[in-house]
A and B are shown apart, each in its own frame.
Chain A
Amino acid sequence: QQQVKQSPQSLIVQKGGISIINCAYENTAFDYFPWYQQFPGKGPALLIAIRPDVSEKKEGRFTISFNKSAKQFSLHIMDSQPGDSATYFCAASYGQNFVFGPGTRLSVLP
Chain B
Amino acid sequence: GAVVSQHPSWVICKSGTSVKIECRSLDFQATTMFWYRQFPKQSLMLMATSNEGSKATYEQGVEKDKFLINHASLTLSTLTVTSAHPEDSSFYICSASGGKNYGYTFGSGTRLTVV
Binding site for B on A (CB under 8 A): 32, 34, 36, 41-46, 49, 89, 93, 96, 98, 100-103, 105
Given contacts A34-B103, A93-B103, contact A98 B108 (CB under 8 A): no
The number of A-B residue pairs with CB atoms under 8 Å apart is 49
- Main secondary structure on chain A at its contact with chain B? strand
Given contacts A96-B49, A98-B34, A102-B43, contact A49 B103 (CB under 8 A): yes
Report the separation of the CA atoms of residues A96 and B48 in the bound assembly, to the nearest whole angstrom: 11
- Main secondary structure on chain B at its contact with chain A? strand
Nearest CB to that of B111 among chain A residues?
A41
Contacts of B109 in A (CB 8 A): 41-43
Contacts of B49 in A (CB 8 A): 96
Report the separation of the CA atoms of residues A46 and B41 in the bound assembly, to the nearest whole angstrom: 19
**Residues 71-115 of chain B: 1 if any A CB is under 8 Å from the residue's CB, otherwise 0?**
000000000000000000001010101000111111111010000
